[in-house]
Amino acid sequence: MGTRKKVHAFVRVKPTDDFAHEMIRYGDDKRSIDIHLKKDIRRGVVNNQQIDWSFKLDGVLHDASQDLVYETVAKDVVSQALNGYNGTIMCYGQTGAGKTYTMTGATENYKHRGILPRALQQVFRMIEERPTHAITVRVSYLEIYNESLFDLLSTLPYVGPSVTPMTIVENPQGVFIKGLSVHLTSQEEDAFSLLFEGETNRIIASHTMNKNSSRSHCIFTIYLEAHSRTLSEEKYITSKINLVDLAGSERLGKSGSEGRVLKEATYINKSLSFLEQAIIALGDQKRDHIPFRQCKLTHALKDSLGGNCNMVLVTNIYGEAAQLEETLSSLRFASRMKLVTTEPAINEKYDAERMVKNLEKELALLKQELAIHDSLTNRTFVTYEAMDEIQIAEINSQVRRYLEGTLDEIDIINLRQIKEVFNQFRVVLSQQEQEVESTLRRKYTLIDRNDFAAISAVQKAGLVDVDGHLVGEPEGQNFGLGVAPFSTKPGKKAKSKKTFKEPLSSLARKEGASSPVNGKDLDYVSTSKTQLVPSSKDGDVKDMLSRDRETSSIEPLPSDFPKEELRPIRPDTPPSKPVAFEEFKNERGSEINRIFKENKSILNERRKRASETTQRINAIKREIDVTKEALDFQKSLREKQGEYENKGLMIIDEEEFLLILKLKDLKKQYRSEYQDLRDLRAEIQYCQHLVDQCRHRLLMEFDIWYNESFVIPEDMQMALKPGGSIRPGMVPVNRIVSLGEDDQDKFSQLQQRVLPEGPDSISFYNAKVKTEQKHNYLKTMMGLQQAHRK
């Protein structure tokens, strides 16, 4: 970790013609500010009112330009961010004191741009100066309005509004906002476009102290990730810069807020009060608990406040005598912030893909060294590569010959071969067990002694007596082994066959086939089962694949469908979309709606099965825990009574042995059920994809149908048909919508030819013009839609 350092706090005074020179004085070093108040003579002769305050800060910015403010406050924080250090710059102060101007600036004038656009410019300039590193830049824009989180970039067409509300999530890497969109930017102009897009979505309001007052806290975050182009190290660095524009604190008596603005002011003052409480707690070294979770603002800034971060505070104040009380409050906040310490450190991470490549190179070098060592010791026949199928088959043959007695010993070459020999022993043993079991199944009906349902079914069928012996088996002589077919049993009626068929069918349905039935005798059982209950996995997967093909193969309906000679009379006012949607599902969208319902029913069935499987897994897990506790108790009891050994082997009692066997069986069941659950989850994910695809297609077709039926004028529909008056690249004169684009193009060309601020402002103005064009287009389209509705 890095060394602890204090937060830097600066004060910026808003220029005014009515500056209180007698009450506000600056120190000669421009690092202190003194406040002097006149005594209130109305309090009498004994007056202990404090009239003088002095605040020590890192700098006082009075009549400072935007260039000077950035150089003093933000330049070092941004430059260190490219070295792997997180940074936070926060603007705090009274409403109307110039926080937004300091952070964002005037977007109409390049010279008056604020800290945020200058930081973006510095990031891309420094990236150009570092050709040895591949640096990616991502940005996000968060708004906290009335204790709710909003994404200011959700209006972009490829983002869209979030279905679920955003939440603040903590993990070992820090705090992040779940649901907040993060956008990759490769050029400076793209970053400015995202900034201007977010600025147009901010919530502002007007009151007596500020015509354009920000009614929310906004956090613009720049995420940086740097990989070395020259070194093959798997290590890389990440960092982020939080640029925080806080809403201003208000005195309701001065601002005159009412209604919605009053509610917003209440939330703003409340969150700023919680922020100050968190700052006071951070400045107190004796405090263990910091109340970060009291509000969304402090929770979102938990990493920045006293964490792994270089933090700078800019306090904006008025220089007028009328606002002196709020100025004192803001300066107290700044002095408390200076007591807070942070511990910035470089954020280093490891690239898994590059780490694998480096390990593969190291492995190849080690193999070469082993080959050299083996050649020096005359062991050239030893290989360290993975065994192929031919070598494994040869080892399997050696193991079988060794077990049969035709091979005396197996030659050992290396450790890999030893492991494969033991593995082949296991394979041979498993194959022999399966052969024995299949031989028994062909001859006999095997019933588990602990399967009481199977025993009861066989007793009802008359095959086993009450004592568990086969019918017709003389005592001491194994007579009557096996199960005779029903056709050879005298005196059995059809009713007895039916009673035997039902329990055996239930047994055959059991998972694991604990009591399998002879296939020849019960062909009709398996046949009926196949007809009633198809294979759960294969059949369902085929079902889903066929539905997927059916959904994807739906031809898009033409815009003039259905073709009728007599068009239905269009109503004067279009129906509401819910009513029209029901009509669409019954007529033109009936086929898509049917597929959607069927896919949804399959999805619900899979979810139900997954829920049941989860319940069984939980029950098995509880039984495993109980068995483990009983086994531990038996072990502790054995240790207390004394352990017995015979030829180096531990001797345990029967109860403990049965518990060990039971635990083994439970774990096997648990693994089997868990595998089934994983398969079901994969099917659920696939079904959900089909349902979403059908839903999207249904809504898209509905929009086309609704526009054709009720929105697009009939004359326009006739013109859009083949052979109509509209050809590609042609629009009727009476439909032309003028957006003033030609004038804007000329203006942008003029900006590129003569830019008074220099060529660095081209990206800034291009992004500004594109954002304005987009919003002008959206406003025009909304106006046309409203005019058409009227």
**Which residue ranges are tagged as binding site for ATP?**
93-100
Question: Distance between alpha carbon 528 and the CA centroid of its chain, in Å?
Answer: 47
Nearest-10 Cα torsion for 172, 176, 178, 181? -140
CA-nearest of 77, 410, 347, 91 to 219 is 91
Helix, strand, coil content of the chain in percent (nearest 5): 50, 15, 35
Nearest-10 Cα torsion for 227, 233, 235, 239? -20
| Residue reference for tokens 């049941």 | 612
Provide the strand spans (E) within 132-230.
133-145, 148-151, 167-171, 174-178, 183-185, 204-207, 210-214, 217-228
CA-nearest of 116, 25, 19 to 69 is 116
Cα–Cα distance between 310 and 316 in angstroms, integer?
20
Looking from the CA of 625 toward its CB, the CA atoms found within 13 Å total: 6
Cβ-defined contacts of 632-637 (< 8 Å, 24+): 634/659
Structure tokens at 132: 């040895």
Residues 6+ apart with CB under 8 A from 254: 208, 209
Compute the residue count for the chain.
790
Structure tokens at 685: 């994910």
Contact 144, 244 (CB under 8 A): no
| Residue reference for tokens 């588990």 | 448
Cα–Cα distance between 415 and 384 in angstroms, integer?
9
Looking from the CA of 279 toward its CB, the CA atoms found within 13 Å total: 21
Residues 6+ apart with CB under 8 A from 243: 88, 89, 103, 115, 116, 119, 219, 220, 221, 222
Structure tokens at 667: 């774990």
CA-nearest of 336, 329, 327 to 24 is 327
| Residue reference for tokens 């470089």 | 346
Residues 6+ apart with CB under 8 A from 770: 193
CA-nearest of 120, 139, 241, 217 to 181 is 139
Residue 387's Cβ-count burial label (10 Å; 0-12, 13-18, 19+) is middle
**Three-state secondary structure along 204-253?**
EEEECCEEEEECCEEEEEEEEEEEECCCCCCEEEEEEEEEEECCCECCHH
Cα–Cα distance between 763 and 188 in angstroms, integer?
6
The region, left, alpha or beta by phi > 0 then psi within -120 to 50, assigned to residue 337 is: alpha
Looking from the CA of 203 toward its CB, the CA atoms found within 13 Å total: 20
Q: Residues annotated as binding site?
A: 93-100
Q: How far is CA 181 from CA 158, 163, 176, in A?
A: 10, 13, 11
Contact 315, 10 (CB under 8 A): yes
